[in-house]
Structure 1
Amino acid sequence: MRPTGPPRIKSPAQLIADSGADLEGHGLKRTMGLFQLVCFGVGAIVGTGIFVGLSDSVAEAGPAVVVSFLLAAITCIFTAFSFAELGSAIPVSGSSYSFAYATLGERVAFLVGWCLLLEYGVSVSAVAVGWGQYLNELLDSLVGWRLPDALSSPPGDGGVLNIPAVVVIGLAAVLLVRGIRESARATAVMAVVKIAVLVLFCAIAFRAYQGDNLAPFATHGVAGITSGASVAFFSYIGFDAITTAGEEVKNPRKNIPLAIMICIGIVTLLYCLVAVAAIGALSADQVAGQPAALSLIVDRVTDSAVGGGVIAFGAVVAIASVVLAVMYGQTRILMSMSRDGLIPHVFEKVSPKTATPVANTWIVAVVFAVPAAVVPLDVVLNLTTIGTLAIMVVVNIAVIALRRRYRGTDSGFRVPLYPLSPVLGVAMCLYLIWGTGWTTWARFAVFLVVGAVVYALYGRRNSRLAAAPADRGGPDGPHGPVTGPATPGA
């Protein structure tokens, strides 16, 4: 048996240098400012989780769903600190994949990238699945006509083939290949629209607020709150997508941490207000299990389909913006993995005309349109949640490894209450993983095993880092040491 040797690690300095290399025309341009980055973050977060998934969280936790949202938010905050420091120290497009490569080694990095297929790729499918439900609500309010359930609902909810899910993924792909500037502008507009719609929902729903609807509060006990938090966590997935834009952000060491914190604050406030307003307007039993709950609530409160149509319009815009932002993140992660030789070369190619990874984008669109069309929503949501939580465990460990391995690294942000904060982040993520249930653990274990096999058969053999001494003219290569500490200030 061949010895594995020490872990293959890329220093932050080498990751940054490699990301800036334009040897084959795959460079990206820094065009995004703080406002655009915040809008991109909000665009990646607010969507199916609150517009479609709220009813699932309510079904688990009852009126205590507000506590579930807060619990999920606290988990995100601890991990957001770690993402902010890592994103500031290593401002490249690979997000948690690159962070793991710099701190824990290539094998862990590949498995993180593999899990990111769940957080970004599969979540595109999950988000797109919910688009058809609100599209029908909008069509019903505008023209009194709906798409047949067989062609607009997820399998398991009366659907056979979810055509709207495929359409929204295709539209996002078209916009992404046109260029990051156009995508950022579209995301900013859509982010403003959906925040305005959620604020409007709260204003309408609070008119019918009844305090009695919140009693009894924790109808399913602590276990229900935990399960509700695991479901509600899906509503927060996407804030880390901000770090995937590391190579296209102006002043990333300052703007990435700031954008992460602003996004978490905005989204947590919005979600808690929406949850209280929803349960206050209708009882938890009436909200639970309703796929387009927000439109239903507004229709009941206003006794008209017009208000529900406005909410449905907001949901259609919101979910489309999430598909756009998350697909963007997935393509940038695959680009980083391709640069390292861990996946085929086609994913790193960028069009010199649009400065976007065109082939990469269309491959992602086609591959993840399939589960969006034919896979039941609950399976996709649970796998996305556990995959994301596992990544966040690694990120919290990675920030500790960064401090220990690269002393003196230049970061625009430092985790407060270190090392308590990342340790609590790990604990909170493991707690929510526990709440996903054993069937989800089993599916995730199989997924990891498949990833390990892919790495052994392809990634390890084709790694450019392993070939560095031969290909780059020496053991250190042109960008500094292949393993070991980064240069201080890198």
Structure 2
Amino acid sequence: MTSTSPDAPAASSPALRVQLTRRKPVERLVADAGSGEGGHLRRTLGLGHLTMLSIGATLGTGIFVVLGEAVPVAGPAVVISFVLAGVIALLSALSYAELAGMIPAAGSSYSYSYATLGELAAWVCGWCLVLEYGVSVAAVAVGWGQYVNELLDATIGVTIPDAWSQPPGSGGYFNVPALVVVVLATLVLLRGVTESARANTVMVVIKILALLLFCSIAFTAFRAGNLTPLFPLGLAGMSSGAATLFFSYIGFDAASTAGEEARDPQRDLPRAIMLSLGIVTVLYCLVALAAVGALPWDRFEGTEAALARIVDQSGGGSLAVGLLSLGAVVAIASVVLTVLYGQIRILFAMSRDGLVPPLFSKVDARTGVPRANTLVVGLFVSLLAASVPLGELANATSIGTLFAFALVNVAVIVLRRTRPDLPRTFRVPFAPVVPVLGALLCGYAMLSLGASTWIVFVGWMVLGLGLYAGYGRRHSRLADTAPEGVLPTQ
């Protein structure tokens, strides 16, 4: 018979609890931002780059892709759904702005959770961010093919057959355009962050001009009667629409993932987050109003290229459809580029902490880019985009994002109580009321999503916890900082 220490059972439980709740001090998060065994990222981005990064990651998803799915759920009240989703995003954006100014690290809300709620919560948040960033790239890429077809049809009169422009389950075998746009974005990112930022800025300008072109045409066909009744599907439809359209606000936090590549992160990150959200919200509401005013809400279903269809039916002609489709192609490519960038930086931060393999934190000495990380993420996302339908991707992404945003709001409350001494370049007004409301509204929006989305989310969390138990917990860098991996509580 094998003898065991009588103290072992009693000691194992506290040791596990210490591992799961150990926190990474803010000071160490900031110090790690300029170091790392695999190399460090370069600080080259200013306020303009950071703002364009967030706009690039946000503007386009809800308007160019998901609007056609949200209108049949909410009716004309989709305009109010956009406002409600924007309010939910604003409350969380305020919390992001405070934490980004305090903790200029690449991990975004993953790093914030590590400093406040402990390692297990940080892993869960990081795993949700993988869902938010990586899967949302795939979801957006799915819609890209729809606008490529619109552009081809308007210019040369041909389209890509459904068999090769739709994923399985949506009438096709493989979505080749979705694969192509992710591969192209990956190649741009491999060139370096400065080159990527410049390319994104050009694309952001083009897609804003495309949306303004749409509004100028759609408002000529505006019919007030299309807005009545405002709530044909009730308040529940409006709420469900807001939960779906929250997907369109994913990306405003992209600037926070650039915390280690910003020249003056404490000053510029909060400004970039708030500026980008304000610009995007105004454009979303303006375009949504023009869209439902020009086309009856019950005729939106069945297309992900809703804006091009509206321009065509409003008498804009093939030239206008072609220009709008070109803008949409550029817009969605910009979203793919910037959100893919964010996903790579999240995995970079998790790898540096030891929670995912070190491959993801190795930086190329010449370009300053985590090269292997970029290639692995690009390959995974491109295959996902080519083989999974849009609707399931969008909803799964929304629930993961809402959960991560809720944790950010909680992190603000915790740090206000535990570390009131830390310098803050931006402070959430009316705290703790605003972050509490932000967390509650995120929870409300999560509950508005369907059962199938929750099943996917729970399955995703179970998979993530299995990976943490099998790898992350055993390789965490915090385990080497003190006896038994214990860090002092803050």
Deviations 1:118-170 (A, max 9, x none): 10011111011111110011111111111111111233332210011111111
CA distance in structure 2 between the partners assigned to 1:5 and 1:294 by the alignment: 52
CA distance in structure 1 between the partners assigned to 2:489 and 2:264 by the alignment: 27
Report the CA distance between 1:333 and its aligned residue: 0.6
Residue number among 138, 150, 154 corresponding to 2:151 in the alignment: 138
CA distance in structure 2 between the partners assigned to 1:451 and 1:334 by the alignment: 14
Matched, 1:19 2:43: no
Contact preservation (8 Å) 2:217, 2:316: no
Contact preservation (8 Å) 1:25, 1:352: no
Report the CA distance between 1:483 and its aligned residue: 3.5
| AA in 1 matched with 2:203 | M
Residue number among 210, 222, 234 corresponding to 2:235 in the alignment: 222
1:479 maps to which residue? none
Q: 1:484 to 1:173 in 2, by over 3 A?
A: same
Residue number among 64, 75, 93 corresponding to 2:88 in the alignment: 75
Moved more, 347-356 or 427-436: 427-436
State percent identity of aligned pairs. 52
1:483 maps to which residue? 488
Matched, 1:236 2:249: yes
1:160 maps to which residue? 173
CA distance in structure 2 between the partners assigned to 1:408 and 1:128 by the alignment: 44
Matched, 1:370 2:370: no
| AA in 2 matched with 1:13 | E
Contact preservation (8 Å) 1:85, 1:411: yes
Alignment of structure 1 residues 41-440 onto 2, 5 Å: 41-302=54-315, 304-440=317-453
Deviations 1:276-327 (A, max 9, x none): 1011111111223322110011111125221111111011001101110011
Report the CA distance between 1:468 and its aligned residue: 2.0
CA distance in structure 1 between the partners assigned to 2:168 and 2:269 by the alignment: 38
Q: 1:462 to 1:59 in 2, by over 3 A?
A: same
2:6 maps to which residue? none
CA distance in structure 1 between the partners assigned to 2:482 and 2:399 by the alignment: 38
Contact preservation (8 Å) 2:57, 2:336: yes
2:53 maps to which residue? 40
Contact preservation (8 Å) 1:154, 1:375: yes
Contiguous gaps of at least 5 residues in structure 2: 1-8
CA distance in structure 1 between the partners assigned to 2:75 and 2:169 by the alignment: 23
CA distance in structure 1 between the partners assigned to 2:174 and 2:289 by the alignment: 34
TM-score by length of 1: 0.95
| AA in 2 matched with 1:19 | A
Contact preservation (8 Å) 1:122, 1:384: yes
CA distance in structure 1 between the partners assigned to 2:302 and 2:439 by the alignment: 31
Contact preservation (8 Å) 1:125, 1:372: yes
Deviations 1:24-53 (A, max 9, x none): 351111111111111111100012321011
The CA RMSD measured in Å over matched residues stands at 1.4
Contact preservation (8 Å) 1:194, 1:318: yes
| AA in 2 matched with 1:448 | M
Contact preservation (8 Å) 1:405, 1:484: no
TM-score by length of 2: 0.95
2:4 maps to which residue? none
CA distance in structure 2 between the partners assigned to 1:475 and 1:269 by the alignment: 48
Deviations 1:322-350 (A, max 9, x none): 11001110111101100111110100000
Matched, 1:10 2:10: no
Q: 1:139 to 1:483 in 2, by over 3 A?
A: farther
| AA in 2 matched with 1:443 | V
CA distance in structure 2 between the partners assigned to 1:373 and 1:174 by the alignment: 18
Report the CA distance between 1:475 and its aligned residue: 8.1
| AA in 1 matched with 2:29 | L
Contact preservation (8 Å) 2:479, 2:485: no
CA distance in structure 2 between the partners assigned to 1:287 and 1:380 by the alignment: 20
- SS of 2:477's equivalent? coil
| AA in 1 matched with 2:31 | A
Contiguous gaps of at least 5 residues in structure 1: 477-481, 486-490
Contact preservation (8 Å) 1:8, 1:466: no
Q: Which runs of 4+ in 1 moved over 4 A?
A: none
| AA in 2 matched with 1:483 | P
Contact preservation (8 Å) 1:29, 1:247: yes
Report the CA distance between 1:231 and its aligned residue: 1.0
| AA in 1 matched with 2:122 | A
CA distance in structure 1 between the partners assigned to 2:128 and 2:447 by the alignment: 17
Contact preservation (8 Å) 1:226, 1:432: yes
| AA in 1 matched with 2:30 | I
Q: 1:148 to 1:464 in 2, by over 3 A?
A: same
Deviations 1:342-397 (A, max 9, x none): 11010000000000001000000111112111111111111101000011111111
Contact preservation (8 Å) 1:299, 1:306: no
Report the CA distance between 1:469 and its aligned residue: 3.0
CA distance in structure 1 between the partners assigned to 2:410 and 2:145 by the alignment: 39
- SS of 1:312's equivalent? helix
| AA in 1 matched with 2:317 | S
CA distance in structure 1 between the partners assigned to 2:391 and 2:291 by the alignment: 22
- SS of 2:314's equivalent? helix
